[in-house]
């Protein structure tokens, strides 16, 4: 994650979101239990990010971020098409 400058990412299996990895919570878990450095993703992942449909409104995205989600997945009728993060909002507002 650090190599690609990513602070959160979804965990997908067979096209479905089954969990997430977030830099902050992952770091905390590893500091508490160093043996987790050798654990599988399944053992350290958090709950999945919420999903927005491409047709949902920005207001819906704001509601989800207000619930303290680090990221939101975007999906069309068939597959995930993107990820929307708090950093994206800051970049959008700043430009």
pLDDT tens-place string over residues 22-48: 999 999 999 999 999 999 999 999 999
Residue 64, C-beta contacts closer than 8 angstroms, at least 6 positions apart: 50, 52, 72
User: CA 82, CA 30: separation in Å to the nearest integer?
Assistant: 28
Q: What are phi and psi of 38, to 5 degrees?
A: -100, 5
Exposed/middle/buried for residue 83 (C-beta within 10 Å: 0-12, 13-18, 19+): middle
Q: Six-digit token pair at 87?
A: 């950093």
pLDDT tens digit sequence for 41-77: 999 999 999 999 999 988 898 899 889 888 999 999 8
């Amino acid at each position: 994650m650090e190599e690609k400058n990513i602070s959160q990412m979804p965990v997908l299996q067979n096209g479905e979101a089954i969990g997430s990895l977030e830099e902050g919570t992952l770091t905390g878990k590893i500091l508490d239990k160093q043996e987790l450095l050798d654990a599988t993703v399944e053992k350290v992942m958090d709950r999945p990010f919420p999903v927005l449909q491409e047709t949902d409104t920005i207001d819906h995205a704001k509601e989800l971020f207000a619930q303290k989600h680090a990221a939101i997945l975007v999906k069309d009728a068939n597959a995930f098409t993107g990820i929307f993060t708090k950093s994206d909002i800051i970049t959008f507002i700043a430009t």
